[in-house]
Structure 1
Amino acid sequence: MKTLSVLLAVALCSLLVVCVPTQEKKDRIHHDKDLSDHKHDDSKDFQYDHEAFLGKEEAKTFDQLTPEESKERLGKMFHKIDSNNDTYVTTAELLAWIRFVHGRFVSEEVRKQLDMVDKNRDGSVTWEEYYQQMYSHLLDEEAFYDVVDKERYKKMLQRDERRFKQADKNGDLIATREEFTAFLHPEEFDYMQDMVVTETIEDIDKNGDGVVDVNEYLADMYTPDADEPEPDWVKTERQQFLDHRDLNKDGHMDRSEISHWIRPHEYDHAELEAKHLVFESDRDKDDKLSKKEILDNWNMFVGSQATNYGEDLTRRHDEF
């Protein structure tokens, strides 16, 4: 019955051409402004670097290109990154590029959501518009949802409404484009930080005591199989919790500690990645990259996962 319910829900959403509420769209607000969902381990692959340099969606496109196509497009991108046209790319220029790429991803997602939700095309989104597009069909169509489904969507509605009101600075229940961006991507805005902490606690704190202990912290990342020994990376995360998450050593993370965890102040992912790419590619150690140095290390920047170059690769790829 539950499976049928889910299938009917998917069919209904497809027919109505609606997007998914924020908590269905992604697992949760990211703990920090990381640049990729992949581990940054160059000894295994360069997927983190690809997504950091290209953006997550464009990295998928490059995964389908031949090495020759990847290098050609990387060469064209060099001239866009070289903002002062001196034929070199500095760490600052690379940092600006990485921030541009990831800012564009956010802007594009906001644009798509606005196009779908902003029915009167005035460039802003009222709470009523958002509710009608996202939830009215889910909560009003009794035939398509069992009680569990309906209760789940009610909780999602309450959470979205709370976040929408927090993003709406003047309280008029009309989100400007910037406020709507803060609603969709609260991790990008200082004034939404408290909401990010609240939602993180709600997602991880299983016993409802308002704090996160080490077991809840680990359960958010890892579900062991029966009799499975604890992997080394889980042991490392357990120690991370003890050494660096639980700052006052009282056995759990409170709101202040969770805020520090999800938005660490000691490093900037984009800056670290820019420095990393320059360090790994700068053969003559002049602290800047020539076009040749970047192309010589093309695999780290863009790579290529393509193994079959059949007819699917003849489709048009939009120029970056």
Structure 2
Amino acid sequence: MIRPLLMCFALCVVYATSKPTEKKERTHHEAPLSSREHVDAEGFEYDHEAFLGKEQAKTFDDLTPEESKRRLGIIVGKIDGDADGFVTEAELKAWIKKAQKKYIYDNVDRQWKDFDMDNDGMISWEEYRNVTYGTYLDDPEPDDSYDYQRMMARDERRFKMADKNEDQIADKEEFTAFLHPEDYDHMKDIVVLETMEDIDKNGDGFIDLDEYIGDMYNHEDEMEEPEWVATEREQFSEFRDKNKDGKMDREETMDWILPSDYDHAEAEAKHLVYESDSDKDGKLTKEEILNKYDLFVGSQATDFGEALVRHDEF
């Protein structure tokens, strides 16, 4: 079975075990802290995933409020790096970034054993290619119309970019950069290039308004264009197309998908402090955090069940 590496909008990179679709093959935008909408009036799921990481957040969903608070108290001690009894925005930001990195590294670890065929602790381009495109290599002219040759060329180009010592072999960090290029400065050019290649349908090296909208919305699916599409048109004209020439070049595309002036972790840390800092001194005590435990971790259970024995660290 051919298992190409696909790029998706929300989770950076998805390892597929079946034939890919031609849509959304790329890393598109900096990875968000959560796949949820950040609307506190409708719930704190975004904050839970941002603060704990997606997998860890799930473990709190089935806990009683008492157990959630107990575990949160343990986490507060870990966040307070200088052990001064307060949690600052900087400490929260560092914790959130650590939680998100853990998700990435766990994702890489799950995939590692599939590609390290000789168990030497490294993954060569040959190993990756053979595992991912083995069926195609046996039959370079498959019955379907999917362009595996193009996809393999893209993967090889990205693999070479991640391979900093140019030995055609990836260690764990290089393979992480290959799978999650949006998190590495030296990989940002390839993220922009892949994005532009996928959206630039007329091949002129730019993204015009129709291509920009067409990447997000298929007008054939609905009779009337939804309101959010009109908003995106305004966004393109007012903010994306900075030099007002009717299209986005490489630099403008970079600003769109990998903005340098916005830090998701910093914004979330500020949000958590603002919502929890009852005495408005700019930092949080353990008591202030526990008083807003539903914002940080939440709890939905009415009984303990087996949820209390899930993680040794608690």
TM bucket (normalised to shorter chain) is 0.7 to 0.9
Q: Does 1:241 align with 2:259?
A: no
Per the alignment, residue 190 of structure 1 pairs with 185
Map of 1:226 onto structure 2: 222
Provide the rounded CA distance (Å) in 2 between the counterparts of 1:153 and 1:71: 50
CA contact (8 A) 1:22 1:184 kept: no
Matched residue, 1:72: 70
Give 2:117's aligned residue. 119
Pick from 103, 125, 133 the counterpart of residue 105 of structure 1: 103
Q: Deviation of residue 310 (structure 1)?
A: 8.8
Aligned to 2:310: 317
Give the superposition deviation at 1:74. Answer: 1.4
1:163 positional shift: 0.6
Number of the residue aligned with 2:144: 147
Q: Could you list the per-position Cα deviations for residues 7-46 of structure 1 after superposition, in whole angstroms to 9, with x for gaps in the alignment?
A: xxxxx57xxxxx7524485343131242122232222222
Cα distance, 1:52 vs. partner? 1.0
Instruction: Report the secondary structure of 1:288's partner residue.
Output: coil
Q: From 148, 153, 173, give the equivalent of 1:178.
A: 173
CA distance in 2, matches of 1:139, 1:50: 44
1:180-205 CA-to-partner distances (Å, cap 9, x unmatched) read 11111111111111111111112222
Q: Distance in 1 between matches of 2:58 and 2:137?
A: 35
CA RMSD for the aligned pairs?
A: 2.6
Aligned residues: 298
Q: CA deviation at 1:295?
A: 1.2
Instruction: Give distance in 2, aligned partners of 1:72 and 1:20.
Output: 43
Give the 3-state SS of the residue equivalent to 1:147 in structure 2: coil
- CA contact under 8 A between 1:187 and 1:193: conserved in structure 2? yes
Secondary structure in structure 2 of the residue aligned to 1:84: coil
> Residue 165 of structure 1 corresponds to which residue in structure 2?
160
Tell me, which stretches of 5 or more residues in structure 2 are unaligned?
15-23
> Quick check: 1:211–1:254 contact (8 Å CA) kept in 2?
yes
Distance verdict in 2 for CA 1:140–1:61, change over 3 Å: farther
Residues 22 and 160, structure 1, Cα contact 8 Å, conserved in 2: no
Whole-angstrom distance in 1 between the partners of 2:217 and 2:295: 29
In the alignment, does 2:294 pair up with 1:299?
A: yes
TM-score normalised to the size of structure 1?
0.84
Matched residue, 2:198: 203
Check whether the contact 2:60–2:299 (CA below 8 A) recurs between aligned residues. Answer: yes
What amino acid is aligned across from residue 317 of structure 1 in structure 2?
R
Which residue of structure 2 lines up, in the alignment, with residue 21 of structure 1? 5
Aligned to 2:43: 45
Shift in Å at residue 281 of structure 1?
0.3
Q: Distance in 1 between matches of 2:205 and 2:39?
A: 34
CA distance in 1, matches of 2:176, 2:211: 30
Mapped to 2, the partners of 1:206 and 1:33 lie a distance apart of: 24
1:81 maps to 79
- When normalised by structure 2's length, the TM-score is 0.85
| C-alpha contact (below 8 Å) 1:139/1:153 kept by paired residues | no
Deviations 1:141-185 (A, max 9, x none): 799x6322xx34333222111110111123221112222111111
**Cα pair 1:182 1:188 within 8 Å, conserved:** yes
Distance in 1 between residues matched to 2:7 and 2:139, nearest whole Å:
20
What is the CA distance between 1:316 and its match in structure 2?
A: 4.4
Query: CA–CA distance in 2 between the matches of 1:71 and 1:21?
Result: 40
The residue type paired with residue 228 of structure 1 is E
Deviation, 1:246, is 0.3
Shift of 1:277: 0.5
2:44 touches 2:294 (CA, 8 Å); kept in 1? Answer: yes
Structure 1 71/203 Cα, relative in aligned 2: closer, same or farther at 3 Å? Answer: farther
- The answer as to whether partners of 2:62 and 2:304 remain within 8 angstroms in 1 is no
* 1:88 partner SS: coil
Distance 1:86 1:285 in 2: 18
Task: Give the distance between the partners of 2:61 and 2:201, measured in 1 at CA.
Answer: 38
Give the gaps of 5 or more residues in structure 1. Answer: 1-11, 14-18
Shift of 1:304: 3.2
Superposition pairs for residues 235-314 of structure 1, below 5 Å? 235-305=230-300, 313=306
